[in-house]
Structure 1
Amino acid sequence: MLKKISSLLLALTITLSTFALKASAEGFPYTFNDGAPHSKSILMLNVDTDSVVYANNPDEQLSIASLTKIMTYIVAYENIPDIETTVITIPQSVADDLANTGSSLAKIEVGEELTGLQLLNLMMIPSGNDAALSLAKYVDGLQLTPTSLGIENAENPDTPLTFVDLMNRKAKELGCENTHFVNPHGLYDPEHYSTARDMMKIVQYARSLPKFTQITGQTYYELPPTNMRSEPLTVYTTNRLLLQNGDPDYYYPYATGIKTGSLDQSGYCLASSAVYEGYTYLIVALGSPYIDANGEHIEEQGEMLDSYELYKWAFTQLQLKTVATTGQLMADVELNYAWRKNRIQLVAGEDVTVILPNEVEISSMITTLDIPDSVDAPVKKGDIVGTATLSYADEKVATVSLVAAESVERSDVMLTLEQGKSIFTSGWFKLLAGGILLLIIIYIILTIVHNKRRKQRTSVRRYRDM
């Protein structure tokens, strides 16, 4: 009786918890100071738990301008042998291709000899389109084919892949579903686009590569003298979140990178990171207005204001909370073939910590169980039986493995009884029993009829003998 009452109370708690919180699309609700974000699309990720904490139109396809260079970094780093020391000579075609495009440039010169690492710095810090294109043309010159890259089942295994081909292949490999690249620098093309969600995947991967976080976290870079210049060249970051001596409306002391982008067609774009007291966040913000209705340039960089505001909110209003501990009772389930035991308790198989708003009580979390109707003995302590999904504001924040709280041996007597029960209650047995019963009834009826006729014949014979 106590077990039945406990199970009823547990089920009631789970049911009532589904009414505790207001639903939201993804992440946690946040109201900006201006009522709405400047950016068309935003995605914010807590790196520590790999969970989205804020989202606004994260899957809208948009022009990404120089955020493109994050993928360019990936492809160049992975395909240029010894890129940090390889010397690359800037070809005339770079200057020709970028002439009259209004490109942001690192001001490198045709014929200048630079290492791949120097070009990566010149691409990511001042957002040099000339550096990006130089890296791409060098890779094109390597004549990389699917065969040489170990790519299987390619349609044309011995046809060289262009740098852009490699960019799009890498995007697919990273799980980007709404991304297509046309060039390595981000100059506008209607077929060149991505989304905040896809760019977040690209950013996360790039951060795992050598030198990336170091390069993108710098406020300036000094290129030493080269074969074409006798004096060092100093270039500065375009990321105003990093500039302590810049505009105080943008400078954020805990920002650590990453990359800006801006075009008339794309607006202001920013992929950024920030670290504070052991917490790390990433934000991709796309499409803050760059020009007004009259075609005039807008000085205010809304993508940085949005990111600045979200970082302050996250670091002050969100925290890691343990929502399940190893051995914590989560549910119970019917148990078959055990002696004098018909249910077994299920407990959390591990400690689970997630990022949540400060005001959220763990008791208000929505718990959704995915467990079978019953399990069969024998069961070993720690066997995984199911899962429990914990949600807040209609967003799944954790999945907990549910394991058996104890070991239970199988009873051969109970197994035999259950098997016998299953036999006697099976459809085929009922059909067979019904057939036998029908035959018995027919036999009884025939016997009664036969006996009745026999008595009648006996009575007639006696009457004749009289």
Structure 2
Amino acid sequence: MNIKRKLAKALAFIFIANSIFTMKSIQAEAADYWPSGVDVVAESAIVMEEETGTILYSKNMDDVHYPASITKIMTALIVLENCDLDETVTFSAEAVYGTELGSSSIARDVGEEMTVEQTLYGMMLESANECAYALGEHVAGDMDSFVDMMNAKAKELGCKNTHFNNSNGLPDEEHYTSAYDMALISRAAYKIPKFAEIVGTKNYTIPATNKHSDPTPLNNHHQMLHYYKTNQYLYEYCLGGKTGYTVVAGATLVTYAKKDGMTLVCVVMKDTTTDEYTDTTNLFEYCFDNFSKYAVADFASISEDDVNVTGILSENSELIKVDEDGIIVIPKTASILDVTSTVVPYSDSEDSSVIGQLQYSYADKSVGYANLIFTNAETAGSYPFDNIPVENGGSGKEYIQVDYPKIGLVILIVLAVICLIMFIRSKSSEILLFRHRFMSRHQRPQKTNMTIIRDNGKRRKRRR
């Protein structure tokens, strides 16, 4: 049965592929053009569109480098996925004294208590290493276990050249990543609203704690967002990010920026001090100037009026629709007619109505996607293209929806009735005897044809 169902699904997706809007590539040089007229000082860099993951620019993006404090983006991601913001973090001796002397810190004391939220601000704005260590211990109990969580998350996100060995990014030969992997991590973290809020905060104040009677002011060190040491690198479209620096890592920087409705993630690694801001600004400007995003639902549709576009599903277009949130990002010199689409099986654990995905490419690069949504609620529980002939775009498989709970209830009622009947039959003699005794005790005396007349205390019978 499972094999038949899998075959039916595979067949159905083949027909979807033949029925969805398929873009035709224009045979022109412009169709293969991808902007590449910008360079940076950084040894490794990448710009990724946040919604689709489309890579707009890359330079040695898979080369391995030390990440320094941009490591804390992964730390924040895991903390936000596993903790409530009001939980209490207690700083251990290892957290306070186990980090490199003279490294970034907000001078916490052993036994000091702060909320998860306050500790996150300390880590992300001031890059406090003791905060990163304390958060790791709070989540996993010890640093080794937290590191295991970091590496497991990196693998889950598709990182290919990453291995973490601490939560703060201090130098370690077994602690490394690439610009591409760091972009994947940064993109995933930014999807968490609280993370986006924290990295976009210019300043924050930690109130008095059990160890510090005075509040602790914090400033965001990202100079494209906030006047920290100079206003030279302020960038009006910057949404925030995370800085990093060690002697062996050089300058590292993750930055988010948004313009004209398009959000980009930029990562530069092994850069020189201050050039990380210039490189990032130049990359943002180049990408914003040369790329545009388009809503897939605006040009891909299933229509009964255009058979050459929708193919054999034209008569059943009500079954599926293109997700309105789907987008593509392509060079401004290209047209939506230049992209090609492929339909692939796809499911979403959070949305059971998703049955497939339109994946778009241009110039041999992935440029976006849109989910295919099943909208026919009347056949919920069956595969969307069952009970539809093959010639009409269906699977050709006959499907009868079975409501197992209702069938089970009916069976239980029938069994209960049968049991009741059998019980009554087994007790029939006792029931009849009980009935006879009951009737005997409560039956009225029989009437006769004689009445008794009393006269002077004597009884005489008179026949009626």
* Fold shared, TM-score > 0.5 on shorter chain: yes
- Counterpart for residue 281 of structure 1: 264
1:178 aligns with 2:188: no
CA offsets 1:19-53 (integer angstroms, 9 cap, x no match): 523757xxx42323xxx211222221222443222
Higher relative contact order (CA 8 A, sep 6+): 2
1:71 aligns with 2:74: yes
- Counterpart for residue 93 of structure 1: 94
Distance 2:193 2:171 in 1: 29
* Cα distance, 1:209 vs structure 2: 3.0
- Counterpart for residue 204 of structure 2: 221
Distance 1:349 1:225 in 2: 54
- Counterpart for residue 341 of structure 1: none
* Among 260, 285, 300, the residue aligned to 1:325: 300
Mark the CA change 1:225 to 1:359 in structure 2 (over 3 Å): closer, same or farther. Answer: same
Whether contact under 8 Å (1:224, 1:231) holds in the other structure is yes
Mark the CA change 1:325 to 1:85 in structure 2 (over 3 Å): closer, same or farther. Answer: closer
Structure 1: runs of 5 or more not aligned: 1-12, 144-159, 290-298, 336-343, 372-383, 412-466
Whether contact under 8 Å (2:252, 2:271) holds in the other structure is yes
* Cα distance, 1:272 vs structure 2: 1.2
Whether contact under 8 Å (1:349, 1:400) holds in the other structure is no
- Counterpart for residue 363 of structure 2: 393
Distance 1:389 1:166 in 2: 31
1:278-427 equivalences under 5 Å are 278-289=261-272, 299=273, 301-321=274-294, 324-326=299-301, 327=303, 350=322, 353-363=327-337, 365=338, 367=340, 391-397=361-367
Whether contact under 8 Å (1:179, 1:194) holds in the other structure is yes
1:39-78 equivalences under 5 Å are 39-78=42-81
* Cα distance, 1:316 vs structure 2: 3.3
Calculate percent identity across the aligned residue pairs.
31
* Cα distance, 1:103 vs structure 2: 1.2
Structure 2: runs of 5 or more not aligned: 1-22, 345-354, 373-387, 393-464
Distance 2:88 2:358 in 1: 55
1:199-278 equivalences under 5 Å are 199-209=182-192, 211-244=194-227, 247-278=230-261
Whether contact under 8 Å (2:54, 2:366) holds in the other structure is no
Aligned-pair Cα RMSD in Å: 3.7
Name the aligned partner's letter for residue 50 of structure 2.
V
Whether contact under 8 Å (1:14, 1:368) holds in the other structure is no
Distance 1:99 1:223 in 2: 23
- Counterpart for residue 127 of structure 1: 127
Whether contact under 8 Å (2:96, 2:108) holds in the other structure is no
Mark the CA change 1:14 to 1:94 in structure 2 (over 3 Å): closer, same or farther. Answer: closer
CA offsets 1:346-378 (integer angstroms, 9 cap, x no match): x99858752223232445x2648899xxxxxxx
Q: Secondary structure at the match of 1:134?
A: helix
Distance 1:88 1:234 in 2: 19
Mark the CA change 1:201 to 1:97 in structure 2 (over 3 Å): closer, same or farther. Answer: same
Name the aligned partner's letter for residue 179 of structure 1.
T
* Cα distance, 1:114 vs structure 2: 1.3
Distance 2:115 2:178 in 1: 32
- Counterpart for residue 31 of structure 1: 37
Name the aligned partner's letter for residue 357 of structure 1.
P
Mark the CA change 1:395 to 1:258 in structure 2 (over 3 Å): closer, same or farther. Answer: same
CA offsets 1:230-251 (integer angstroms, 9 cap, x no match): 2211121111110257534411
- Counterpart for residue 29 of structure 2: 20
Distance 1:263 1:89 in 2: 27
- Counterpart for residue 435 of structure 1: none
Runs of 4+ in 1 over 4 A off after TM superposition: 327-333, 347-353, 366-371, 386-391, 398-402, 407-411
Aligned length, in residue pairs: 336
Whether contact under 8 Å (2:328, 2:360) holds in the other structure is no
Name the aligned partner's letter for residue 29 of structure 2.
A
* Cα distance, 1:87 vs structure 2: 2.1
* Cα distance, 1:322 vs structure 2: 6.1
- Counterpart for residue 442 of structure 2: none
Q: Secondary structure at the match of 1:275?
A: strand
Mark the CA change 1:329 to 1:249 in structure 2 (over 3 Å): closer, same or farther. Answer: farther
Distance 2:308 2:267 in 1: 37
Mark the CA change 1:38 to 1:104 in structure 2 (over 3 Å): closer, same or farther. Answer: same
* Among 160, 180, 183, the residue aligned to 1:197: 180
CA offsets 1:154-177 (integer angstroms, 9 cap, x no match): xxxxxx961111111221222222
CA offsets 1:93-123 (integer angstroms, 9 cap, x no match): 22331253x3111222223221121111100
Mark the CA change 1:121 to 1:263 in structure 2 (over 3 Å): closer, same or farther. Answer: same
* Cα distance, 1:125 vs structure 2: 0.5
Distance 1:304 1:368 in 2: 36
- Counterpart for residue 114 of structure 1: 114
Distance 2:87 2:341 in 1: 55
Whether contact under 8 Å (2:77, 2:195) holds in the other structure is no
Name the aligned partner's letter for residue 66 of structure 1.
S
Name the aligned partner's letter for residue 287 of structure 2.
A
Distance 1:401 1:139 in 2: 34
CA offsets 1:386-423 (integer angstroms, 9 cap, x no match): 99976433324357999xxxx99969xxxxxxxxxxxx
Name the aligned partner's letter for residue 224 of structure 2.
L
* Cα distance, 1:261 vs structure 2: 0.8
Distance 1:139 1:98 in 2: 18
